[in-house]
Amino acid sequence: MNEFEKLLQENLVFLQRYVNFKVNNKHDAEDIIQDICLTATVKFETLNNTSAFKAWLIGIASHKINDYYRKKARLFEISLESLSESALGVSRIGITEHSIVSETLDVLGDKEKQILYLYYFKDLSQQDISERLSVPIGTVKSRLHYAKEKFRQHYPYTTTSKGEKIMIKIPEILPEYKIEKTNLEPFSVINEELQGWPIIPRIGESSTWGLYDMPSRKRTEYTEMKVLGKAQIHGIEGVEISAVQYDAEDYYRTGSVDKMDRRFVAQLTDTHSRYLAESHEDNGVRKLYTFLDGDDFTSNWGFGEDNCGKETHISRKGLLARNGNSIEGHTDKETVDIVGRYKVTIGNKVYDTICVMDIQCFNDGVASEEYLDKNGRTVLWRRFNKNDWAYKRYGKLWNEMLPENETLIINGDTYVHWYDCITDYIL
């Protein structure tokens, strides 16, 4: 193996992650990776410092991806005069900007989009627009006024002068609840919350949630989360989220017994919700992990092929069948499926929900029940541990440690209920 082949082999996984995060179409991404490798082979002798190979390779990748999006954009007749490669992506409607602004523009008529583009993106005056379009300036003013109003109607977020939303404190004792199976057909939902941290990664969202020990029902910790604004990691646009955990009793979950201040960068796509980066402070050192950091990131925050994230469109797949507390099905790998429709009563509130079983996605030997309403929001989340999960750490089986807790039988294996989670959505 020559020097180039060795360097390419060492950086190939990094390159694949980079391209797959930039290009949503898997087949196109494979073609681009091949093209990058071919170009790198031909131009390797021009690289003076081999210690800079990774940066040099990513530079080639960036140019190739830029060319890819420019070709795509020409097919859709989208001007690239004011748009960079990192601001474009392929969605269900073709080439779009990764921004709420452009998504709103997409629902407007051609004349409205044109006038707003010239005025805001090209920074032309009303007189300049009048001359460019060969229409009277009065027409420009009326079109611009109408376009602004249409944009305002469709834009999903509004600003407020009343200050930030005051977080709701989660109760210290978990309210009594009842879960009842119904004979109704399960419904499909769009659940955009992040896996494991119930907040939607979208501007304007916030969430407060608590974990509760069973059977004591006492709150062991609670977390306040808020989307702070837009953020970019390695050219991928998402949002920054603050997550402050309080009163945590489990050091292994939070790294702190009092308070843990985390920051996430996460992204919501047309089909998935995923983490791009996580940071926290450990012994006075701020640590940052991103999707390009391999197992250090993916083992904790990544999910799905190439860390595509959690599917947001949830429908019954027929992978799991539930009868009472017995679940049978395909559980030899990470499995998520709807197992029925349930009436969940918490306090004096009743929710029509589906139960989504997650087996081994959260962690090996862990299963969870997530009860979602028709809005796709979490009403109740319950965790179950396989009986011998983390046996070396605890030295006992879970049905010995928690003999009063509910159990599930999943393909013949016993899983024991450990803790629950509720959010301020139900309060």
Residue whose token pair is 């940066």: 55
Looking at the predicted structure, is the pLDDT value of residue 365 above 50? yes
Residue (of 32, 12, 13, 35) closest to 22 by Cα position: 32
pLDDT at 78 over 60: no
Helix spans in 44-136 (H) = 53-75, 100-106, 110-116, 126-133
Beta pairing partners, 240: 229, 265
**Range name among 4-8, 157-161, 186-190, 283-287 with the lowest pLDDT average:** 157-161
CB-based contact 351:196 (threshold 8 Å): no
| Per-range mean pLDDT, top range of 82-86, 307-311, 337-341 | 337-341
223: which residues sit within 8 A by CB, 6+ positions away?
A: 197, 208, 209, 210, 243, 244, 245, 246
Better-predicted residue by pLDDT, 182 or 296: 182
Q: What is the pLDDT of residue 106?
A: 61
Two structure tokens written together for 278: 């996580």
Residue 386: strand, helix, or coil: strand
Residues 343 and 353: beta-carbon distance below 8 Å: yes
Q: Three-state SS for 257?
A: coil
Distances 144 to 120, 128, 157 between C-alpha atoms, Å: 11, 13, 21
Encode pLDDT of 194-226 as tens digits: 988 999 999 989 999 999 999 999 998 889 999
Domains of the chain: 3-87 (1.10.1740), 99-154 (1.10.10.10), 170-191+312-427 (no CATH), 192-304 (no CATH)
pLDDT in tens, 141-158: 888 888 887 777 765 544
Q: Quick one: DSSP state of residue 218?
A: B
Angstrom distance (rounded) from CA 350 to CA 344:
6
